[in-house]
Amino acid sequence: MFIIDLKNNDIDLSANCMEATLCKSQGGIPSTGICPGTSTNQCCDKAYTSVPINDKTPVNRMLTDLAEILRGAGLSVIESEGWQTRGHSVMTSVKSIICHHTNGPATGDFPSLRIVRDGRKDLAAGRSYHAGATIDDSVFGNPNAIGIEAEAVGVPLTNSGHEYWPEVQYQSYIRGVRALQAAYGVPASRVLGHKEAAAPVGRKPDPNFSMDEFRATLAK
């Protein structure tokens, strides 16, 4: 569920792997379970902030409470083994939520799971490469935004209503985003569709429903 932008992943994670002691000596925060080799070879995040955005906003950690948050909202959650350690290091903050669709096959049970999880190794508790360039990376960039990929064929492209989405899936999307907003203190104004957050304008079409309607429903 928390995954990548399939077309915008050109960052080499291995470049961030180094000995944990070296990472700390350079002012970074090392995370285990991401880099290959010995346990002390860790993913080093130097682009972090230690200033909380508000008292609900976690900084510099993997979001390993995601499953618990979504279950708490009454959603059925299936955890993909190893998700807690699969991210590209820790999140800097959670200032925003970006909605995607997978643009996947029309049949099957979560047919995009494999590409979501394994395609770029990003189905993750921590930072995922889903956003690409955004209108404001300090808010909507990968270190600061939770990305949600919803399985959908993604056609036809439209910005109105949600008629091409099963109601049960759409309502689950709403419910899940509401729970994440509450847990991390994200206002509805910072819940954007990828098509709204992506830069330059027009680079991304997803998701193919009205984000204005989506945000209005969040607020109800």
Binding site for Zn ion (CB under 5 A): 100, 194, 206
Beta carbon of residue 19, minimum distance to Zn ion (angstroms, whole number): 35
> Among residues 17 and 97, whose Cβ is nearest to Zn ion?
97
Beta carbon of residue 207, minimum distance to Zn ion (angstroms, whole number): 8
- 194-201 contacts: CB < 8 A, separation 24 or more? 194/5, 194/98, 194/99, 194/100, 194/130, 194/131, 195/159, 196/135, 197/96, 197/98, 197/131, 197/134, 197/135, 197/140, 197/145, 198/131, 198/132, 198/133, 198/134, 198/135, 199/133, 199/134, 199/135, 200/133
> Among residues 117 and 194, whose Cβ is nearest to Zn ion?
194
Give the residue among 206, 212, 217, 178 at the shortest CA–CA distance from 6: 206
Give the residue among 86, 180, 187 at the shortest CA–CA distance from 127: 86
> Among residues 29 and 150, whose Cβ is nearest to Zn ion?
150
> Among residues 45 and 149, whose Cβ is nearest to Zn ion?
149
Beta carbon of residue 129, minimum distance to Zn ion (angstroms, whole number): 11
Beta carbon of residue 21, minimum distance to Zn ion (angstroms, whole number): 37
> Among residues 122 and 206, whose Cβ is nearest to Zn ion?
206
Beta carbon of residue 193, minimum distance to Zn ion (angstroms, whole number): 8
